[in-house]
Amino acid sequence: MEAQFDLTSKVIAIIGGTGKEGTGLAYRWTRAGIKVIIGSRKLEKAQKAVDDLMNLAGNHIDVSGMENAEAARLADIVVLTVPYEAHKVTLESIKAEMSGKIFIDVSVPIAPPKVTRVQMPPAGSALQEAKQILGPEVKVASAFQNVSYTRLLKDEDVGCDILVCGEGRETRDLVLGLVEMMGLVGWDAGPIENSMVVEGLTSILIGINKRFKVEGSGIRITNVNREQAE
């Protein structure tokens, strides 16, 4: 697809970005030339994550560390990567800064110890729950639930595709552009009601990881011309 958005001028905040998945996403985006702010509940943790990322990706990348709400305030696109038990409370803590922005949920409603059993919240999925909290002023999407951070941190093919759900085709296409800039293959997976499928797939893949003793099983879309993917 032709790039429809000037994504390199956007600022991405990764809320709860000091964890493994957040680090993997930040690594790919900063190396693609996008400015990233890593958010954390504590400034020191965010700054530590910035130092670690620079050690991995090089000092030339454009990354800074802030508290979550400040990170959200200064960003155009806000990505959430927190353990599911912190999903609601973190969304509430950034809600006031979110009007007019794009939100990308990476959360999976996994309930230990039964991590291989799909369990969706009453809203239907983590993404629909986020939409309920963030309200009509925020365009929401979900992505990256099925790719392992270890593969994001390697400069090679991750071996799996990214399914993008979201509000409206324009929102999904913007996220698909971000996926492409990371060197990944993404597919339009439809409206937010479909996110339960992509989130739940994570539990199925964890089950396959366990049964076959592998680390990062994933999925690819087949029987379609992959050159068409975005």
Interface residues with a second copy (CB under 8 A) are: 116-120, 148, 151, 159-160, 163, 187-191, 193-194, 196-198, 200-201, 203-205, 207-209, 211-212, 214-225, 228
Dist CA 76 CA 88 (whole Å): 21
Least CB distance from residue 43 to a second copy, whole Å? Answer: 36
In the bound state with a second copy, the residue whose beta carbon lies nearer, of 89 and 214, is 214
In the bound state with a second copy, the residue whose beta carbon lies nearer, of 43 and 197, is 197
Least CB distance from residue 19 to a second copy, whole Å? Answer: 21
Element (H, E) at 92: helix 87-94
Least CB distance from residue 119 to a second copy, whole Å? Answer: 7
In the bound state with a second copy, the residue whose beta carbon lies nearer, of 40 and 145, is 145
Q: Which residues contact 203 (CB under 8 A, 6 or more apart)?
A: 108, 110, 115, 116, 117, 118, 119
Least CB distance from residue 13 to a second copy, whole Å? Answer: 28
Measured between alpha carbons, how far is residue 63 from residues 53, 153, 219 in Å?
8, 16, 30
Dist CA 120 CA 123 (whole Å): 8
Least CB distance from residue 158 to a second copy, whole Å? Answer: 8
Dist CA 9 CA 11 (whole Å): 7
In the bound state with a second copy, the residue whose beta carbon lies nearer, of 100 and 122, is 122
In the bound state with a second copy, the residue whose beta carbon lies nearer, of 54 and 120, is 120
Dist CA 66 CA 53 (whole Å): 14
Dist CA 26 CA 32 (whole Å): 10
